[in-house]
A and B are shown apart, each in its own frame.
Chain A
Amino acid sequence: MMHAKQGSGVSRRRLLAGAGAATLGAPLIAGAAPAPVKIGLLQPLTGFLAYDGIQGKYGAMLAIDEINAAGGIKSLGGAKLAPVLADAQTSPATAIAEVDRLAGEGVAAIQGGFASDLVLAATQQAARHGLPYMVDVGVVDQIVGRGLTNTFRFGPGFGKVTQDGLANLAALNNAAGKPAKTVVIVHENGAFGSGMAKLLQAKLPGLGFEVVATIGHPTPQRDFTNIALQVKQANPDLIIPSNYKNDYILMALTFAQQHVRPKAAIYSILGGAASNAPFAAQHPKESNYIMDCNHYYDPNKPLSKAFAAKVAAKKWDLTYELMLNYSVMRVLADALERAASTDAAKLTAAIAASTYSDTIMPYGPTKFVHGQNIGAAPVNTQIRDGVVEVIFPTAFASAKPVFPIPAAG
């Protein structure tokens, strides 16, 4: 049903705008400054997701600055990319209102969203306007499972991340002679954490792990002492946390304070702060050896090294939101280049046909199937003496994994 509706879903406004652009754009001659291509950057810029949203904005803006400095979109006569910022706050209703505003301002495409519930609402609204939408993070699998032909996700979804996360965990454990047998799951009790806990409870026994305790907590959790003591009493080989950044930091600090030290590791999947550079740098002792399976760049690519240097020069935190948004904007610019048009239908077709590989992510060329980039995959990281290192897959690794972690000295 969605397909049928979507096929003719180009609004009158977009059609007119497209026709207008075609007639006006035709006599483009050298010397005339081409109109900038407006790109909507929708992020949670305020509220409790502001950190992630602002990081995402930085990443997209960095890519836009580079693309513009390199001459803009050449097939459009060197048209510059012009970001139009939109704050989704933390509410899907606001995200929808902001998509309407962006459409009204005549953006060619929208990028961002970060949180799954914001992305679900924003992509659907963008579809009503016939606007192509590039998802930056939003891991819920439903985002690309609804038949919306305008929606493209560059990064891996929940299913792929957990599948790889568990496979990598089993591989690490097997290679080390199976030191980890028992697991405690600590999760926030929202859709993300509870969903993860349920999935882990179902999958871990098949991989040879026994879940000895599952502890849910609200967000924010003001104190982790009791949780730490419960974990300590369960004495697991492995702790798998899934909660948001602030809670993750408080949890890790409390674990250290209460001398909670699992025999094998703290292993997160999409962990709140487990691959967060400032957390690692500020608390090298408490964060040491924490592992994560998450979005992360390939640190060995020359483009990644240049990117990391620029991020460091701007004194930004090197996080995955930054990496993904930087990469997604490059994919979008490439599509604009090939479409040679800001027409929504042409741009959507160009994104769908994308085979772009010049990003910092460890993905290979893009290939969108039903909107999902099937080349996307997470990596495993481990914090080592205040630095987030990639440990898995070995092709992108910057360090060898330490598993099990050394006993407390």
Chain B
Amino acid sequence: MSTALLLSALVGGLANGAVYALVALGLTLIYGVLHIINFAHGSLLMLALYASWILWSALGVSPYVALVLLAPLFFALGYALQRWVIGPAGQGRDANVLLVTLGVSIVIDNLALAVFGPATRTVDIPLATSTIDLGVMYLPLPRLIAFVAALLLSGGLWLLLNRTDLGRAIRAVARESDAARLVGIRVAHIHAVTFGIGTASVAAAACLLLPSFYVSPDAGYAFVLVAFTVVVMGGMGSFPGALLAGLVIGVIESFSGLWFGPSLAPIGIYAAFALVLLFRPTGLFGARA
């Protein structure tokens, strides 16, 4: 095994890991903080990929510019979804929420199929094919941008949750919703805001992912399982944890792909996952229960 291949596997793994972290950031807020098992996460990712693709194909808007438009739009979508669909229908019971989000995902998937058709779409912007010659490999520029964005976004979300009143309210609701209600926090509103922020993060991830990936009605599913893994491995609700776990999983997948073949790469992910949970049951950055 040449050093060049090892080095490129490391860089490629970090670049992929950043994408995993990006997709998981929204989920760690929704699943990790609110404990809403959001089966619609992949479908929302797919929807955002389509939204970004449409802006590009119809108006020529680069996905990186679309991010600024789609993040608020998807915040509103997420807010509405939680406030008027998942919240009322779920009635706070996990089994209900699970079924409702599953239902939402089925609706979104089939709407996408009906509206956009089943074809695989890609964006063709000069930036998408731009690479940086590292000698051992060509680093795709979209992956570098995704990497930097993952750092910024996870940092920003951490600040939001830990240094703002809104963040304190979210944490209060997550920890003890009855007590939060007693001190005047509007619990349903905070739930919806949190879901909205999570959905906006998914939209951001989609815009950063699209230049180096594709969109089809089933595109979201490629990232769902790995996103849940990242959230649990990083520690429920921890943004630095999601970032670190995303990168760790990316690198492990990359190296196990290199050594055992890409077919067996997922084994590396879940072996590492099991090991982490064995020694740190609350995940890398998880608070002690």
Contact surface of A with B, Cβ cutoff 8 Å: 46-48, 50-51, 53-54, 189, 215-218, 220-223, 225-227, 229-230, 233, 245-246, 249-250, 253, 256-259, 273, 278-279, 282-283, 317
Residue from the list B113, B119, B218 in contact with A278, Cβ < 8 A = B119
Residue from the list A47, A215, A233, A259 in contact with B218, Cβ < 8 A = A47
B263 part of interface (Cβ distance < 8 Å): yes
Residue from the list A223, A257, A279 in contact with B16, Cβ < 8 A = A223
User: Does A189 lie within 8 Å of B263, measured CB to CB?
Assistant: yes
Q: How far is the CA of A26 from the CA of B117 in the complex (A)?
A: 45
Q: How large is the interface on B (under 10, 10 to 19, 20 to 34, 35 or more residues)?
A: 35 or more
Q: How far is the CA of A337 from the CA of B73 in the complex (A)?
A: 56
Residue ID in chain B nearest A49 by CB atoms: B118
Q: How far is the CA of A222 from the CA of B262 in the complex (A)?
A: 11
Contact surface of B with A, Cβ cutoff 8 Å: 2, 4-5, 8-9, 12, 15-16, 19, 109-110, 113, 117-120, 122, 124, 129, 131, 137-138, 140, 212-214, 216-219, 221-223, 226, 254, 257-258, 261-263, 265-266
User: Does A283 lie within 8 Å of B113, measured CB to CB?
Assistant: no
Residue from the list B5, B12, B266 in contact with A233, Cβ < 8 A = B5
Main SS of the interface on chain A? helix
A50 in contact with B261 given A230-B5, A256-B129 (CB within 8 Å):
no
Across-interface contacts of B221 in A (CB, < 8 A): 48, 220
A226 in contact with B12 given A220-B222, A233-B5, A259-B138 (CB within 8 Å):
yes
A249 in contact with B214 given A222-B222, A283-B124 (CB within 8 Å):
yes
Task: Tell me the minimal C-beta distance from B23 to chain A in angstroms.
Answer: 10
6 tightest Cβ-Cβ pairs between the two chains A and B: A51-B118, A217-B262, A50-B118, A216-B263, A189-B263, A225-B12
A227 in contact with B120 given A222-B222, A249-B214 (CB within 8 Å):
no
Residue ID in chain B nearest A216 by CB atoms: B263
Residue from the list B140, B217, B262 in contact with A226, Cβ < 8 A = B262
Across-interface contacts of A222 in B (CB, < 8 A): 16, 19, 213, 222-223, 226
User: Does A229 lie within 8 Å of B213, measured CB to CB?
Assistant: no
Across-interface contacts of B5 in A (CB, < 8 A): 229-230, 233
Residue ID in chain A nearest B110 by CB atoms: A46
Residue ID in chain B nearest A222 by CB atoms: B222
Across-interface contacts of B2 in A (CB, < 8 A): 233
Residue from the list A53, A189, A225, A283 in contact with B122, Cβ < 8 A = A283
Q: Supply 29 A–B pairs (Cβ within 8 Å), ascending by A.
A: A46-B109, A46-B113, A47-B218, A48-B221, A50-B118, A50-B217, A51-B117, A51-B119, A51-B120, A54-B117, A218-B265, A222-B19, A223-B212, A225-B15, A225-B16, A225-B140, A226-B257, A229-B9, A229-B137, A233-B2, A246-B216, A250-B214, A257-B140, A259-B138, A278-B119, A279-B120, A282-B124, A283-B122, A317-B119
Task: Tell me the minimal C-beta distance from B145 to chain A in angstroms.
Answer: 15
Q: How far is the CA of A257 from the CA of B223 in the complex (A)?
A: 22
A257 in contact with B12 given A46-B113, A249-B214 (CB within 8 Å):
no
